[in-house]
Amino acid sequence: MSYNAPLKDMQFVLTELANLAEINALPGCEDATPDTVEAVLEENAKFCRDVIAPLNRVGDKDPSYWKDGTVTTTKGFREAFKAYAEAGWQGVQHPQDFGGQGLPKLVATPCMEMLHGANLSFALVALLSDGAIEALLTAGSDAQKARFLEPLVSGRWTGTMNLTEPQAGSDLAAVRTRAEPQGDGTYKLFGTKIYITYGDHDMTENIVHLVLARTPDAPPGVKGISLFIVPKFMINDDGSLGARNDVACVSIEHKLGIKASPTAVLQFGDNGGAVGTLVGEENRGLEYMFIMMNAARFGVGIQGVGLAEHAYQGAVAFAKDRVQSRDVAGSSGPVTIIHHPDVRRMLMSMRSQTEAARALAYVGAALSDLAHHHPDEATRTANLAIYEYLVPVIKGWATEMSEQVARDGVQVHGGMGFIEETGAAQHYRDAKILTIYEGTTAIQANDLVGRKTVRDGGAVAKALIAQIRDVERQLGEAQNADFVAIAQRLQEGSAALEQVVEYVVANIKTDVKAVFAGSVTYLKLAGIVLGGWQMARAALAAQKRLDAGEGDAAFYRAKIGTARFFADHILSQAPGLRTSIVDGAAGVLALEIEQF
């Protein structure tokens, strides 16, 4: 099963919905001209198709394995990562000062989507390195930046995030790893970290671990966590590699999916202490980690989009090839199954949700660029607030959506989907991690409710709803059936979202359990309404091109049809979700624990 980046849709979203021209005009984003962006995307698409995608099934069949304390990755991964690094792909969005290309997040985002779409297991090493780079750029000292950034940006080394411990799961307040100051500016770390993605591997000569730990005098809970750099190999003053640090990979997990990506248990300090240096200030580790995590959460949302696209392509190819049963409207013999209405329904469901999530995520990336590069501070602040509202929605909704899409991908294949050789089953297995790591959907939903909705009294959410209402007005001017239906569903959706935002803000103090009982449902509602908003914008943009007689008419007509599907089949769930949130807490909380 091959993967071809959906360049046409990516370009459409970049130019028509995420306003690449506006981003290109920002200071520091001058290189992101339409021509450059097109060239970058085409080159990346070729690389992902030819080098990365062919390793996807291979990695599932012959996963990375652990033996005697070291991890050997799937055959071909090492060479592929070398090629990835040498072509400069790790540096797309990172500063030119450290060897990157310095392109905006809006351009890096489709590159990420392609890499994840081609091969989720492989792409994870790049995602984690991005997170480490982000954290060091934000909080690292000049010496740390000088030592670690160029090797990470160039892909000579890779990075990891070390948060989770066996007893703690998602609860960082329970972190126990100790960091003891040595008086020379270094610390010695002792503890066990689990679920460390690419915690050990043989693809690069060094690995840079970013580790949460507590110093001896740290206060308890999340306010006593600091962030440390612990390299796998020590680094000499001339930048060459020194001795092995005291961090050992003691095992990797046997997982449901993303099998080529080694998920390590790392043991720090069993032989005297792992040497690390503090990032930023003591006890501010969580704050720095959140910078890294916000980038990583956005990235996991993009994983959802990429995986969904790959599953969709596989299902379309199968449905166009597999001949079975007559057409329900009559045919002289059996037809390809894409003729069957329910197969078509599943393909449209996969397609429309993938396109909606892509559009929302790219628009989010543009907001991030505006938040970082716009000359006007108020504009930066306003865009940052909207971006931060969107991050948990993109992460949570795009990944939940990808599970559903991967599931439908298996279903389109019928019995063949249950046999591993088609690859559809791998997507179904791989997808299941996306709603869990970097914070489960429930944790995203807590963030959406707490930091992103309640804290500002729903102001950002309502500003977004006001933008949706603008689109509803534009839709109202069109007369044809597709636009009338899209307008109606979007109105019902934005009304439902508004009622829920008001419910959340009004009840958080008096009935916190009831509000959180609806938190994940609120996140899903926000996802489909915001996704529907983007699909409606896409339909309007497509109609404009059609009216002007410009471009690929079949593509634009398909976009309108896909938006129509999204409206009637996905957005139409919004009023029901509102009911579940506003009236549903009694049912969620009806039982005593003993009654389960």
Catalytic residues: 438
Q: In this chain, which stretch among 5-13, 123-131, 177-185, 411-419 interacts with a second copy, using CB under 8 A?
A: 411-419
Q: How many C-beta neighbours within 10 Å does residue 593 have?
A: 5
Q: Least distance to a second copy from the beta carbon of 506, Å?
A: 17
Q: Least distance to a second copy from the beta carbon of 10, Å?
A: 17
Is the torsion defined by CA of 541, 545, 551, 555 positive or negative?
Answer: positive
Site for a second copy in 115-174 (CB under 8 A): 164, 168-171, 173-174
Q: In this chain, which stretch among 51-59, 150-158, 278-286, 410-418 interacts with a second copy, using CB under 8 A?
A: 410-418
Smaller CB distance to a second copy: residue 189 or 410?
410
Site for a second copy in 415-444 (CB under 8 A): 415, 417-421, 425, 428-429, 432-433, 435-437, 440-442
User: C-alpha 256: how far from its chain's center?
Assistant: 19
Q: Is 483 in the site for a second copy (CB under 8 A)?
A: no
Q: In this chain, which stretch among 45-53, 94-102, 292-300, 408-416 interacts with a second copy, using CB under 8 A?
A: 408-416
Site for a second copy in 164-193 (CB under 8 A): 164, 168-171, 173-174
Smaller CB distance to a second copy: residue 8 or 473?
8
Helical H segments across 17-119, by residue range: 20-24, 34-47, 55-61, 77-86, 105-118
Site for a second copy in 342-361 (CB under 8 A): 342-345, 347-348, 351-352
Residue from the set 21, 39, 146, 256 that interacts with a second copy by CB under 8 A: 256
Site for a second copy in 59-88 (CB under 8 A): none
CB 161 within 8 A of CB 296: yes
Site for a second copy in 195-224 (CB under 8 A): 195
Q: Is 243 in the site for a second copy (CB under 8 A)?
A: no
Q: Is 254 in the site for a second copy (CB under 8 A)?
A: yes
Convert residues 536-565 into a mask of x (bound to a second copy by CB under 8 A) and - (unbound).
------------------xx-xx-xxx-xx
Q: Is 520 in the site for a second copy (CB under 8 A)?
A: yes
CA–CA separation, 383 vs 450, rounded Å? 19
Q: Least distance to a second copy from the beta carbon of 307, Å?
A: 15
CA 189 vs CA 150, 211, 385: distances in Å: 25, 9, 36
**Residue 499: half-sphere exposure toward Cβ, Cα within 13 Å:** 17
Q: Least distance to a second copy from the beta carbon of 417, Å?
A: 7
Q: Least distance to a second copy from the beta carbon of 249, Å?
A: 16
Q: Is 241 in the site for a second copy (CB under 8 A)?
A: no
CA angle 442, 447, 452 (to 5 degrees): 140
CB 191 within 8 A of CB 128: no
3-state secondary structure of 56: helix
Write down the residue that tokens 């916190």 correspond to.
512
SS (H, E, C) 536-585: HHHHHHHHHHHHHCCCCHHHHHHHHHHHHHHHHHHHHHHHHHHHHHHCCH
Tell me how far apart the 2 most distant CA atoms of the chain are, in Å: 84
Smaller CB distance to a second copy: residue 147 or 358?
358
Q: Least distance to a second copy from the beta carbon of 350, Å?
A: 10
Q: Least distance to a second copy from the beta carbon of 532, Å?
A: 12
Convert residues 309-348 into a mask of x (bound to a second copy by CB under 8 A) and - (unbound).
-------x--xx-x-xxx-xx----x-x-xxxxxxxx-xx
Residues 6+ apart with CB under 8 A from 70: 200, 202, 249
Q: Which helix (H) or strand (E) holds 72?
A: strand 70-72
CA–CA separation, 410 vs 404, rounded Å? 10
Burial class (CB in 10 A: 0-12, 13-18, 19+), 30: exposed
CB 208 within 8 A of CB 150: no
Smaller CB distance to a second copy: residue 83 or 558?
558
Q: Least distance to a second copy from the beta carbon of 328, Å?
A: 5
Site for a second copy in 83-112 (CB under 8 A): none
Residue from the set 403, 447, 472, 498 that interacts with a second copy by CB under 8 A: 403
Smaller CB distance to a second copy: residue 250 or 442?
442
CB 323 within 8 A of CB 250: no
Residues 6+ apart with CB under 8 A from 492: 571, 572, 574, 575
Q: In this chain, which stretch among 79-87, 90-98, 467-475, 477-485 interacts with a second copy, using CB under 8 A?
A: 477-485
Residue from the set 76, 88, 181, 414 that interacts with a second copy by CB under 8 A: 414
Q: Is 513 in the site for a second copy (CB under 8 A)?
A: yes
Smaller CB distance to a second copy: residue 102 or 531?
531
Q: Is 590 in the site for a second copy (CB under 8 A)?
A: yes
Helical H segments across 54-104, by residue range: 55-61, 77-86
Smaller CB distance to a second copy: residue 18 or 359?
359
Is the torsion defined by CA of 449, 454, 455, 458 positive or negative?
Answer: positive
Tell me the two tokens of residue 388: 């931060």
Smaller CB distance to a second copy: residue 153 or 530?
530
User: C-alpha 542: how far from its chain's center?
Assistant: 27
Tell me the two tokens of residue 170: 């998602």
CA–CA separation, 554 vs 545, rounded Å? 11
Residues in binding contact with a second copy, number by CB under 8 A: 105
CA–CA separation, 425 vs 400, rounded Å? 17
Q: Is 576 in the site for a second copy (CB under 8 A)?
A: yes
